[in-house]
Amino acid sequence: MSQEEQPQIYLISPPEFDLMEFPDRLAAVLDAQEVACVRLTLASHDEDRICRAADALREVTTPRDVALVIDRHIVLAERLGLDGVHLDDGARSVRKARKALGADAIVGAFCGTSRHEGMNAGEAGCDYISFGPVGTTALADGETADFEVFEWWSQMIELPVVAEGGLSPEVVARLSPVTDFFGVGEEIWREVDAVAALKALTERF
């Protein structure tokens, strides 16, 4: 990405949310800021729960022409007619997802901090790579995807890259010149005013 271009917003849902409340919060954010994609990331393994959540979010994203992808569930992505799938196992499931969902589907791959895994996923046919966490988070093993990973990727690889996990205004400012997307999730949803929280991040783009 060139220095003149700004990163885009890639929204990540909370791992758990109220179906009666969250779609309205999401709609408010989408109406306030231009968003490229929304990812449904539920911790639940209840198929009915996931399907209902996907349907609820699609009612928000489709009228606003925002892509909706789902974490891991290739079969559900196809069955529910979603725009694609986000894989959390690097390159391992990319070819399977592409074969199942077709050439037009979005297939993304989370590759932790590994450039090598990212390159493998790209060669396997994914549409974007996600690295992270990029900031301090209690859920990680302490290893972070640092500036050098994104700088190298932006200089050497054309495939779009997402920075996610542990975002702060300072991290956003540092990585903006070398990433295509910021994967924004709990950083804004844990706040009372998600719109204001997102604005605080995007102001540092």
CATH code for position 128 = 3.20.20.70
Residue 189 maps to a domain: yes
Sequence-distant (6+) residues with CB within 8 A of 31 are 64
Residue 175 maps to a domain: yes
- pTM as predicted: 0.95
Beta carbons within 10 angstroms of residue 73's beta carbon: 20
Residue 101 maps to a domain: yes
Residue 1 maps to a domain: no
Residue 81 maps to a domain: yes
Triad 183, 188, 191: Cα angle to 5°? 165
Domain enclosing residue 12, as ranges: 8-202
Residue 128 maps to a domain: yes
| pLDDT tens, residue by residue, 137-161 | 665 567 899 999 999 999 999 999 9
Beta carbons within 10 angstroms of residue 52's beta carbon: 12
DSSP-derived secondary structure for 59-70: HHHGGGT-EEEE
| pLDDT tens, residue by residue, 165-196 | 999 999 999 999 999 999 999 999 999 999 99
Residue 191 maps to a domain: yes
pLDDT of residue 1 exceeding 70:
no
